[in-house]
Amino acid sequence: MRYKIIVTLAARENTLSAFIYYQNVRQGLGDDFLEDLEERYLAICENPYAFSYTDARCTLRDAILNRFPYLVIFKIQSEDVIVLAVHNMHKKPLSL
């Protein structure tokens, strides 16, 4: 079963900030970030239960990008995967 992914506004804003940052570091690096993120989204959609819990209540899961220091924080609701944040692991801990 393939899950449908829903990206929240907060996660979209996180993604845009990261894209702009990496584009400013080097032209094209922002595109590389988006490709890495898209690959992770596809893996999550294929099997969201393969990723570990990130909270004590066992409601949120996370997936680390392959190339960039970012976590995709998501929850599973029925047949949907809801992405709550795309979090830079070098910044302060995320509170959801």
Amino acid at 15: T
Supply the pLDDT for residue 95: 61
Supply the pLDDT for residue 90: 87
d(CA 77, CA 70): 22
Supply the pLDDT for residue 2: 87
d(CA 27, CA 22): 8
Supply the pLDDT for residue 56: 79
CA angle (70 as vertex; 64, 13 as ends), nearest 5: 125
Write out pLDDT tens, residues 34-90. Answer: 999 999 999 999 999 999 998 878 899 999 999 999 999 999 999 999 999 999 998
Q: What are the extents of the domains in the chain?
A: 4-88
Predicted structure pTM score = 0.91
Its CATH class, for the domain covering 4-88, is alpha beta
